[in-house]
Amino acid sequence: MTFIPISQPSITQKEISYVTDAIKSGWVSSLGKYIDIFEKKFAKYCGTKYALATSNCTTALHLTLVSLGVESNDEVIIPDFTFVATANAVKYTGAKPVIVDICEDTLCIDPQAVETAITSNTKAIIPVHMYGHPADMNEINRIAKKYNLFVIEDAAEAHGAQVHDAKVGGLSDVGVFSFYGNKVITSGEGGMITTNNENLYIKMRHLRDHAMSKEKRYWHTEVGFNYRMTNLQAALGVAQFERIDELLLKKKEIYEWYKEELNDLNNIKMNFQKMNYLNIYWMICIEILGFTENQRDDLLMRLKNKGIDGRPFFYPLSDMPIYPTVDSPIAHKVFQRGINLPNYFDISKDQVVFICNTLKMEIANVI
Ligand SMILES: *Cc1c(COP(=O)(O)O)cnc(C)c1O
């Protein structure tokens, strides 16, 4: 039996030759041409003036929050349904993550819940573009303007996604992206920050590199970080970036294969695309309506026994002992019934058909 993994990167001769070029050049750490190329290309893609490469997206989030002046006693509003890094980065600053519910259709933060959660201590909002679908940025930007708050788009899962014709990462004050191995494009580990704010960009660049004085080498007036990306990572990132249209097109095609095969099931919900939004379908999302957490886990185990790797949706942050409990009925309903299925670049249509037939059979077997 062959095992179909949930994800695997697409590495071609281009990636191999760029990384080989970088290592042969001797610029193996964080100086070197690929960092500059990656940042310039990425900023242009997102329609922002600046982009700053980081060691990963978690450090990108932390660097952004610190540079915006977020500190103890501040509050930052985040969705209950996201990868834990969104919340952890807020914690690192000493600020309080204020967790709110999501919208059932897009799985992204609910703007109404955001507005309700605002206090005099609120400093920023982090909408997350879940599984490749943009959050409701028009509403969130309107609320942020009204209460004078920063907006940081967590676009770790949504490279190339759009609201109308504008790409995520350029829709608010700052955007952050991830290049982890299972993301839309990868640099092994890596992150990127996009912004139009020059002062913020200068501050972030300074803090990324130990906050070393420009005039006086090895002199520091602030506690900085080493959050740099290496030239080796950037070489892989640039090669992947040059293939981003091809990679996104394949995600869409694979989504259509799943949709066609699962069309006749009426008790499931697949990835949603709201009008005027462009979903890039980072992951295939299947929600089996009415499923409990135990049924979901049983289904994943049955799939695994047939050689198919699936993933459960993220648990609500507010269920974890490290974060406060909140009332978020949608996040609590959705996580129990949702799974992700394989959609990597090299998967074949036959494999998707096999996955869908097995899924139909095993949904019926779950008790
Ligand atoms: C993957 C991910 C991150 C963290 O990215 P790393 O590069 O692994 O640090 C942050 N937020 C979301 C929503 C993610 O999916």
CB environment 287-318: b (16+ within 10 A), e (fewer) = bbeebeeebbebbbebbeebebbbebbbbbbb
Domain boundary among 207, 241, 275: 241
Shared domain for 232 and 362, answered yes or no, is no
Ligand 1 centre to CA of 3 (Å) is: 26
Rounded CA separation 346/149 (Å): 42
The number of the ligand 1 atom at minimal distance from the alpha carbon of 60 is 9
- Kindly report the CATH number assigned to the domain that includes residue 78: 3.40.640.10
Q: Considering only CA atoms, which residue is closest to atom 10 of ligand 1?
A: 85
Query: Which pairs count as long-range contacts for 288-296, CB under 8 Å and 24+ apart, including other chains?
Result: 288/337, 288/339, 288/363, 289/337, 290/337, 291/336, 291/337, 291/366, 292/336, 292/337, 293/335, 293/336, 295/366, 295/367, 296/336, 296/337, 296/338, 296/339
Shared domain for 19 and 165, answered yes or no, is yes
Shared domain for 250 and 188, answered yes or no, is no
205 falls within a domain? yes
353 falls within a domain? yes
Domain interval for residue 342:
244-366
Q: Considering only CA atoms, which residue is closest to atom 5 of ligand 1?
A: 57
Shared domain for 361 and 221, answered yes or no, is no
Indicate whether residue 229 lines ligand 1 (CB < 6 A).
no
On the CB side of 366, CA atoms within 13 Å amount to 22
Ligand 1 centre to CA of 157 (Å) is: 7
Domain boundary among 241, 263, 298: 241
Domain boundary among 241, 271, 302: 241
Ligand 1 centre to CA of 5 (Å) is: 20
In DSSP terms, which residues pair with 287 in a beta bridge? 269, 338
Shared domain for 254 and 235, answered yes or no, is no
Place of tokens 């890039």: 280
Q: According to the model, what pLDDT value does residue 315 have?
A: 98
Q: What is the phi/psi pair of residue 18, to 5°?
A: -65, -45
Residue type, 303: L
Q: What is the phi/psi pair of residue 226, to 5°?
A: -105, 95
Closest residue by Cα to residue 194 from 151, 136, 163, 232? 151
The total of other beta-carbon atoms located within 10 Å of residue 242's CB is 15
7 falls within a domain? no
Indicate whether residue 128 lines ligand 1 (CB < 6 A).
yes
Q: What is the phi/psi pair of residue 66, to 5°?
A: -60, -45
Indicate whether residue 153 lines ligand 1 (CB < 6 A).
no
Q: Which two tokens stand for residue 201?
A: 């960009």
The number of the ligand 1 atom at minimal distance from the alpha carbon of 189 is 7
Shared domain for 18 and 159, answered yes or no, is yes
Shared domain for 127 and 216, answered yes or no, is yes
Shared domain for 227 and 269, answered yes or no, is no
212 falls within a domain? yes
Indicate whether residue 156 lines ligand 1 (CB < 6 A).
yes
| Total domain count, the chain | 2
State how far the alpha carbon of 297 is from the alpha carbons of 235, 266, 293, in Å: 39, 21, 6
Indicate whether residue 180 lines ligand 1 (CB < 6 A).
yes
The number of the ligand 1 atom at minimal distance from the alpha carbon of 190 is 7
230 falls within a domain? yes
Angle, in degrees to the nearest 10, between helices 293-305 and 349-365 = 130
Rounded CA separation 110/139 (Å): 9
In DSSP terms, which residues pair with 305 in a beta bridge? none
Closest residue by Cα to residue 124 from 146, 142, 148, 99? 148
Shared domain for 250 and 288, answered yes or no, is yes
Indicate whether residue 177 lines ligand 1 (CB < 6 A).
no
DSSP H helical ranges for the chain:
13-25, 33-46, 57-67, 85-92, 111-117, 137-147, 198-208, 231-241, 244-262, 293-305, 329-337, 349-365
Q: According to the model, what pLDDT value does residue 367 have?
A: 81
Q: Which of 83, 92, 129 to mutate to test the pocket of ligand 1 (most atoms within 8 A of CB)?
A: 83
Shared domain for 37 and 168, answered yes or no, is yes
The number of the ligand 1 atom at minimal distance from the alpha carbon of 130 is 13
- Kindly report the CATH number assigned to the domain that includes residue 289: 3.90.1150.10
Q: According to the model, what pLDDT value does residue 1 have?
A: 75
On the CB side of 47, CA atoms within 13 Å amount to 14
5 falls within a domain? no
2 falls within a domain? no
Shared domain for 227 and 329, answered yes or no, is no
Rounded CA separation 211/252 (Å): 42
Identify each DSSP E strand in 70-223 by its residue range.
75-79, 96-100, 122-125, 150-154, 162-163, 166-167, 174-178, 191-195
User: What parts of the chain have a pLDDT lower than 50?
Assistant: none
Shared domain for 85 and 234, answered yes or no, is yes
